[in-house]
Every structure is written in C-alpha cells, then in structure tokens.
Structure 1
Amino acid sequence: MVGSISDITEQRNAEQALREAHAELEQRVAERTEQLALTNWSLQEEIVERTRAEEAIRESELRYKLLADATFDGVAIHDQGILLEVNPGLERMFGYQPGELIGRSILDLIADESRDIVIARMQAGARGPYEAMGRRKDGSTFPGEVVVRPYQYRGKDVRLVAGRDITERKHLEEARARYLETLEQQVAERSADIARLESQRAQTEKLAAMGRLAAGVAHEINNPIAGIKNAFTLVRQAVDPAHPNAEFAALIDREIARVASIIQNMYQLCRPETRVDETVDVWTLVKDLEALLMPLLQQRRLKFDVDLMASVQWLCLPRGDLMQVLLNLLSNAIECSPEGGTIVFSLREETDGVRLAVSDQGAGIDPEHLPHIFDPFYTTKTGRDQKGMGLGLSVSQSLVQAMGGTIEVETERHRGSTFTLRLPRERVGVKV
C-alpha cells in the first residue's frame, strides 16, 4: 500500500471565505431588494395620489363645464384679463361664435363708460356683485351684473367670472320707480285734497257758527235800528234846511243806512232761504257794473278792461247776489290799485262751467293774511282806512257757495291779485 499526506488547511480557509462572501452578498441583495420594494411602494403611492389629483382636476373641470354649459348666465375663466374658457351662455349674451372669445381680453366685453370701473375692480380684487355696461360684438351695450371668484385652473390661480344681462330687471326697476313716483304723487294730491276738504269743512263750520251768531245779533239790532230810522225821518222833516246843523241830519241818515247795510251783510252770512234764479245777460251785467263803478274808476284814473268769451251769452242765477259779489271784488280791486293802473274783468267758458276773474295791479296780499281773507270780520285795515267790518269777502264766499260755485285768490307781492269765481255748467248759457 502506498499512501500520501497533503496539507489542506489553505483550501479549507478559501472555502470558508467563499461561503462568507456568498452569505454577505445574499444579505446585501436582500437589503437592496427590501429598499427597492419600499421605494416602489412609495412610487406607487405617489402615482395613486397624482392620479387622484388629476382625476379631481378633471372632475372639477367637468363640473365647471357642465354647470357653465347648462346656465343661461355668462361664465368665463380669465388669467390677468385674458379669456381662457367661456361658456355658450356668455357667447350668446355677447353675440360671439363658439371659441371666438378664447385668448381675447375680457375688457373687449366692457363698454367704454364702464372700463375704468371694471379695471379698478380687477386691480382691487373685488368680488362683487357690481354693475357694469357690457358691449356686444355688434357694438350695442346693455346693463350687466358681475360676480368674481378666485379659481384653480390647471394648477394656476385664475379668476372665475359670472355675468348676467339685467336689462329686463332695469326695465322693471324703472317701471317700479315710475309707479312709486306716480303713487307718491297721487298720495300727495290725495293728502292735499283731504287737507283742502278738511280746511273747507272747518271754514264752513266756522262760517255757519259765526253766521248764526251774526244773524242773531243782526236780528236783535234790526228792530231798534228800524225804530231809530222811522223816528229820525220825523225829526229830519222837522229840521229847517237852513239851520246851521242841518248837515248833521244828512250824516245821521247815511250812518243809519250804513248800519242797515252791515245788518244785511250779517244776515247773508247765514241765510237759509234760497234766492230765485233768473236769466242774466252777460253784456248787460257788465254794462251795469261799469256804470256803477265809473265814478270810482275816474276818480283814481283807472282803466277797466273787459275780456268776455263770446260763446257765453247768459248766466242762470240770482242776479242780485252775483252783482253784490262782483261789486265787492271790483271795489276792493279799485281800492288796492295804484292810480293810473288797470283792472281786468274776464269771463271764460271751461269744460265744467264758467270762470269769472277780477285782477288788479295792487301790492298783493301779505302771506300771513292770505289764509284768513274769507274769515268773517277779518280785515287788514285799521283806523281811518277801515271802511267796513271785514264781511265783504265772507259774504261773497257764502253767496258763491250758495250758487254751487267756488271762489279763490292768487296773489303776488307788488304784482297784484286775482280773485276767481267758478260756477257749475248748469249756470251757463252758451251760444249754439
């Protein structure tokens, strides 16, 4: 048998080193595999998140598209004033074809008179709503209302604008304003009518009360005055006309007549009986007035102008009452007029009757006196200027109202006054 012995220590060491290297390599591969797995998981998560974000953006844009297409309002997205998206409603509103507005300035849709306002609002980041005038493609303009909101569009901060044509609303607002104005005017007129009627009612009640009082006083005075007048007639007959004091007899006679006239006026403030109507020829009436007033007119060198409508020939009313009213008004006009002035008497037919007016060129009536000129016993004259008891206009008003008419005055300081009588249609006879 032949044998050999060799040293394998080195071989064993090499094998051991190889095994250790292999184990280390496997460990590194495992660690790297784990790292790659973690990285891959992170990438997958990132991809999922990005996908979700993209889907959210697409859904948002889709919602905008659906809402914008479905509304009749105009909707647009702009970036620094440049239009990125517009809906069909906005295109219809401004008269543009689909896609024609993309890339244009939003200011192209704004009328010149509103551009400064819109630019200032854009620079201030105003959200609205606010109003501005829009301009269509054909150049016509219309009122619009604008609302602006910040918006995310494909990752950018832009502006979402919604606008609507408010022409119809403006028309309704204008119609409402006109209606309110008319309503306010009607309310004001109605309030004025109520105030006027209330004033007339109060005046009528006051006149009635004072008239009853005056009539009672006149009745009590009338009998003694009648006795005095009858007795004085006998006394006067006994006075020698050549007596030095005979002139006082004439004075007493005139004063008795004046007292009787005052009593008659007091009766007329509250006179229940109705005077008989008669046919009064207008031209004859004027001639009689002129004849009675001529001495006073000549004394003050006044001109008396008469302006009569030819179609009015006669009036149907108590002639004496009308004469008393007109004589009172004309006498007042003569007294108030400056020497050399003009007094005008006019008569005009109106739709619902006839209007008689007496105008003077006097100093006019003071505003503080105007509300009281028809009050019984109210007079602005004092001392020697006072010729009556302030019953003339009160009696005139009472007589005119008894005829179914009205009397009113218009006055202007230093220009004169006009007293106007209006009588109803049934009092008028016209030329056929």
Structure 2
Amino acid sequence: MEVSRRMNIDHTQLFEMIPLGVLYLSIEGEVLSANSIAKRILDLPTEHLQRFNSFKSRYKTTKKGERDFFEDEFPVSLAIKTGKPILDVIMSVYNSKEDKHYWININAIPQFREGEDSPYQVCTFFCDITEQVRTGDALRASEERYKGLSEAAFESIFISEKGVCIEQNSVAEKMFGYTLEEAVGKMGTEWIVAEDHEKVMNKMLSGFEEPYEVTAQRKDGTVFPAEIQGKMMYYKGKSVRITALRDITLRTNMIKDLISAKEKAEESDRLKSVFLATMNHELRTPLNHVLGFSNIIQESSQDQEISDYAKIIHQSGSNLLELIEDIFKLATVEQGKFSLINQSLKCEDLYLDLQKCLKDELKQSGKSHLINLDFSTEEQLLKSWIYLDRGKIIQVMRHLFKNAVKFTDQGSIEFGFHRSNEKEIAFFVRDTGIGIPDDKQELIFDFFRQVDESYTRVYNGIGVGLAISKKIAEAMNGRITVESTLGAGSVFYFTIPKDSSNSNSIDQDDFDSI
C-alpha cells in the first residue's frame, strides 16, 4: 500500500479499466464492491449494493450441458468452504433487466487477514464469453448437421486438405473397408486405381466440380466403376475439398446391357432385311413363272373352265407378288436405304403419267363400271416446270390411288394438283369410299396398322403402303395428310417443295428399281 501511495496509483480507476467483471463478496454473501462491467452483467444497483441470499434463484444459473447449479457448487461458496482459488468455472446467468442469458468464465479467489486461516471475503472476477459459447454451439450444430447428412447419404464422402484425407463418413468405411483411423492421412488417390491417379489429381488441383468417372479400388484390392464429384469449401476454418464418390456398378451394367441389346436388335434387323431381300429375289422367279404360264393358259386355252382357273391363278399370283414387294419395300425403307434422283419435269407430262397410273389401277380392280374418275388441275400450273424425283412421286401416288380404289366400292375418285403456296405443290386424291374414323387417322401411317385390324376384315393388305409413302414424302421434305368423314369418303394430300434439290437424300439406288 505504501508503494501504491508513493506511485500515486489510482486503484479506483484501475478497478474500472480492467476488461473483466470484478466483484468482492463477504463470507455472508454481501456485495462489498463491484465494477461497472460486473454491475451491468449481473444487473446490480449502482448506488447501494446488496446481499445475495440465493445466487441461484436470482440468476437462474446453469452449467454447460444445461444442468442447474447447486448452491454449494458456486465458485464463491467453494472458495469460502475450501479456502482455495476456484478457477475457470463456466456458467450461465440470467439478466432480468435485459432479458438475456450471459455465459461467463468465473475465477473466485479467497482472501485472508494476516494470521487467520478462514477467508474474510472472496474476490471474484469473470469475463463475458457469450459470443464464444454461441459460436462454439453453432459450430457444433453445423458439424452435427454435416455428420448427420453425410452419414445418411448413399455415397462415400471424403474431406481432404491439400489432397490428404482428414475425414470420411461411415458409408466410405463400408464401401472401401478403411476405418476412419486408417483413412485419415492417406492421399485421396489411394481409393482409386493407379491408372486414374493422374486424372484425379489434376481434377483436384484445378478445383474441377463436374462429375466424372473413374475406377475405384477397395482395401482388399477389388475394383468397381465409380463417379466422383468434388467441391472446394471452408470447413473448420480451413480450405478443404469435399468429395462424393458413388458406386455406379448397377448403372454401368445397365448401360452395357442396353448397348448389347441395341447391337443385337440392329444385327437382328440387318439379318431380317437380308432375309427379306433374299426371299424377295428367290420368290420372284417362281412367281414370274406362275404368272407367265397362267397368262398363256388363260389366253390360249379353248376350255373356258381351264381359262377361268388360269385367271384365278394369275390373280392370286399377282396378289402374292404385290405382297412380297410391299414387304421388301418395308425392309428397304426401315433401313433408310433409298436416294432421290431429282430432275426437271414438266407438270403436264407428270400429270398425264399419273392419270394413266390411276386408270390402270381402276382397270385392274374390275370396278371400272362402278367408279367414275375425275381429273382437275390449274391450267397455268400444267405449263410450269418442277425439279423433283419423278419415280418417287409416282410411287407415292400409286399407293394413294390403290387405297382410293380399294376402299371405294362405287362413286367417284378425283385426282389433281395445285399450288399449296409459292414454293410447294400439292397432289390430292379424293374418293367417296368408306372413310376413316377420327381416332384412326394417325395410326394408318404406321407400319402394319389399318383401320380394321381384326382377323375378319374385308379388305386385304398388310398395312405398309401409307407408311412407306410417308417415309418417302419426309425424305423429299414433304408431308402426307388426310381429311376424312366416316362413310362419306377421304381426301389425301401429298405436299412437296417444287424444288427438292435440298431434300433429305438417303443412300442406295436399288429402291428405285422396285
């Protein structure tokens, strides 16, 4: 004290300047002195200090872990009871004025008079650690959330710093066989086969975040296909890489199976097409013989009955040949093996060719006495020239003519063409046949689909003509559409550009010979 007086030390000022809460208590619990920090945190009156009968009831004190303090556990009580300093006790006190809980770190130092063994007062000083506790709680909550999410994941999750593993989840332990103690300290590439080490390291060093595939390796040496995705982020104050690794064995096997199935289907399709082409060739020869000789018998026989039989044979053979040709066309179109040979055509010449084609179809059907043919077109259009594939146009229109004749028992069929717009020409075939229901107008353009698909259907055919025509029209950058009313007839439109020089040609010319 004498030294303090000589140095003019102002203890009151020092008492207030110290960045801690300072409190002097008598052994009876009376507050003898407190600085402003202690008064603020403990909500003490500034003029008349008071006696604490129960520190616990006044401040609702709790320990870390949310357990209440007992009266004899308070640092002041222990310091008085034991006569020893009680250091670094963390507790929560409630400030009713601010309606706020403070976390404080308390040190209670008993003080003795000279020659006495029992303390006469306790000096308590404490620091406010509320923010530190909250930060720590938030960090622990964040870690618990991360741990919960990582453990609930269906993939291995690793945390690495500069390529070295510092943490893994339980899925990784099960997937690879390394315990957490074994995994920590290993390079991230040790979970990957040697051939992929360079790839993985380059991705890690560059901060690459998109998923990519590697071959992973377990502790026992077995390997499996995996997908990796990583991202740089901050974790516990450090820049780390979070890496997720998924076992994609099932997905890889499924892809292999799909590729294998696709290759088998393509091979099967190729063999089917080869078979159909071969059968087409092999069946044409005997059928041509049947057709030729039945025609000779029909024309040369003097016996009317034999002539009639020969006519039936010839007609049946013609039907069979037409069926074979349709199947071969189908195989060729399905493979896309046909090309367009465009040439300059005078519309009038094409119009006359198509007229003859329709007349021939009607004559062969035997319905000439039941159906009238009407032809109409723009006179000016007949004088113009177009640049198209003549053979493909006739092929498409022949299918439309056949359908019109087949499904019209009596009435009329009208054929013509007109300008759809400045760049397109539209051919049309209108009939007064049976018509097509609204719900069937789309499916008739699919292979092997017909309006009547029952076994007892009246009209023959395998349902490929319109599908083939649609494929050809699309290759010419055109389209086929239909308007129809059930029981009243149909009109089919074949619309194509007048200049098909930019059409979608498809390789192989053998389709033109059909």
The TM-score with structure 2 as length reference comes to 0.37
The TM-score with structure 1 as length reference comes to 0.43
Say which one has the larger Rg.
1
> With CA pairs under 8 Å and 6+ residues apart, which has the higher RCO, 1 or 2?
1
More helix by share: 1
